[in-house]
Amino acid sequence: MADPDDQRCLSGLYHSLSDPTGYLKNWSTPSYLSSPCNGFTSILNGVTCNNGRVYKLSLSAHSLSGQISPSLSNCTNLQSLDLSSNELTGPIPFSISSLLNLAVLNLSANHLSGEIPPSLSLCAYLNVIDLHSNELTGQIPDQIGLLVRLSAFDVSNNKLSGPIPYLLANKSNGLGPRFNASSFAGNKELYGYPLPPMKNKGLSVLAIVFIGLGSGLVSLILSFTAVCIWLRVADQESSNPGEEGKISHLMPDY
């Protein structure tokens, strides 16, 4: 007997996507969608079953567009989700955190936006998270670093910002970072080991030089003006009768 949760999962996903290449054509057959698994096999394209339950969804590179349906949370036996290299938009659904058996999450090379859900850390069996080449924003959640099984992590070429979480950047056995710089590259506002530290937003060296030169020029002009005034006053004093010898009193002491 088909699992009703799997049926809801696949039906919601199918209706949330546009399929210009027709790859999901057989998903439109109600009888196939209502019974997606027959033991270890499935007639539905991109679906792999295990003991009568949806075990793997592989829908990579089929020009699928639309948003990822929250109904995916109903595929409670799902261990691998690959929707990479499509035209998907919108956020990563927080409901994915309900997939407690999930080991592989590949949503790379789409147009996904919004933040990475911190609740992904609830998927304790995750060992692959690939989100590269999207439009994700915000910081990488610290909680992701708590996934002790995580062996592959890639968020490169997004719009992420802030510091790289310590638990994702810490050195493994003193040999190097848990994930190297290529996992984080292409995010202009992201910083911290293994990427360079935060850029100093203070004055540049060139700006400091110009400020110094400007201050020196102003001081020179003021000094020159003061000397001119002093000479003019001295000249006037020396020209007055009975005032001889007083010029020496006007000279500054050095």
Token duo for residue 234? 């001295």
What is the reported pTM? 0.78
What torsion, rounded to 10 degrees, do the Cα atoms 98, 102, 108, 112 define? 0
CATH superfamily of 4-191: Ribonuclease Inhibitor (3.80.10.10)
Instruction: Report, as an integer, the average pLDDT of 179-186.
Output: 96
Cα separation, 77 vs 53, in Å, equals: 6
Question: In sequence order, which residues have a C-beta less than 8 Å from that of residue 237 and are 6 or more positions away?
Answer: 243, 246, 247, 250
DSSP letter string over 111-152? Answer: EEEEPPPGGGGG-TT--EEE--SSEEEEPPPGGGGG-TT--E
Report the mean per-residue pLDDT for the chain. Answer: 84
Look at residue 219 and tell me whether its pLDDT is greater than 60: no
Alpha helices in the chain (DSSP H): 4-16, 30-34, 166-169, 205-238, 247-250
pLDDT for residue 250: 36
The pLDDT value recorded for residue 252 is: 43
Domain ranges of the chain: 4-191, 201-235
d(CA 150, CA 125) in angstroms, rounded, equals: 8
- State percent of the chain over pLDDT 90: 70
In this prediction, residue 254 has a pLDDT band, given cuts at 50, 70 and 90, of very low
Over residues 209-238, the mean pLDDT reads 53
